[in-house]
Chain A
Amino acid sequence: MNKAEILVIDDEAEILRLLEITLESNDFKVTKAMRAKEGLILAANHPPDLIILDLGLPDESGHVVLQKLRQWYMAPVLILSVQNNETDIVKALDNGASDYLVKPFRTGELLARIRSALRGTAQEQKVQRIEFNSLIIDLVTRTVKKNNEPVKLTSTEYNLLTLLAKNEGKVLTHHFLLQQVWGPGFQDQTQYLRVFIAQLRKKIENDPNHPEMILTESGVGYRFMNNEAE
């Protein structure tokens, strides 16, 4: 298998070096750019499999770079942000970023995000069944089983769960979830989301107070993870 190629656009030399070492030692091919302009040219000349983009670039805002990229570039873009600035992160995600990481980050987390982003693009084929450790979702019969016991879900709960599960490992913003499950016009009704997430957790998590599957990304959205203890 060919090595996946990753383009890193960040103006900090240390971060570039750190990412280069981490990614290369994990079998990725890395190209680097320190300026927005340089990054856009590199991406156009030789489109990579994934782009890691810092939001705070000296010559142009990362948001603008993302917009320019998204006019033609469809592969995942992972955002790096300096502080816990949820507004910035949500803006980038709603503008087409695939995921985000806040500096300082753990390299393990970085690799996990990259892998799930790459996997997402690899398998957009139609699946009939999604299986996790104790949870099985049958997309044909629209039924859900937990530890082989059927789980009764309302249709909203089912839609929410499948949307999350199909995007396993990826963060989905409140805005996106509300729009997809409830429809446009409900985008800001986060109270619906809170209530239904709580109900879903009660039905599918081993301990709803310590969720292992539906994880909260505070201020941003939710992320479905298959890290249930076996």
Chain B
Amino acid sequence: MDKLNLLIVGVGGQGTLLASKILGTVALKMDFDVKVSEVHGMSQRGGSVVTYVRFGKKVYSPLIEKGEADLIIAFEELEALRWIDYLTGDGKMIINEQEIDPMPVIIGKAEYPENILETLKAEHSIYSLDALKIARRCGTIKAVNIVLLGVMARLIGIDRQIFADAIHEVVPAKVLDVNLKAFEEGYNYHR
């Protein structure tokens, strides 16, 4: 791997920021130049959120445009559908099998699209799993993000020890064990 364009997409409050912080730390440990870009404030609060993570020998722009993402980690199915255009031709997408209705659906002004996973799987390399269930089994539903990072680590072949070290650095000590367990579960999911 000499470069990686990665998008993390989800719903405000799902823990995408912590995931990007760990990824940034991983990149530095691998001696990559790295940029991580996110937007705070009004666009959070249950809205669509996106974080851009770029590894490379030298990274200039912090943004990833349509057709440029090697990998997308989607924390929610509708968000997976929304961002699929950003994948490169042979890009991969990891999807957490969870549906969160947006306000237009809640109030009956729009329909939540049906069969998102099947639709996407028909044309793309999709790796989906119920990360919420796995995280709950590990001890906290907050570890969904770490489960997904575990999946990612195996998928693109990054040494799991580098991730474990990064998790050590970023996650508070009292929840470290739960998170390391969640990482292993994710790492071993698509064996």
A and B physically associate: no
- A residues with a Cβ closer than 8 A to B are none
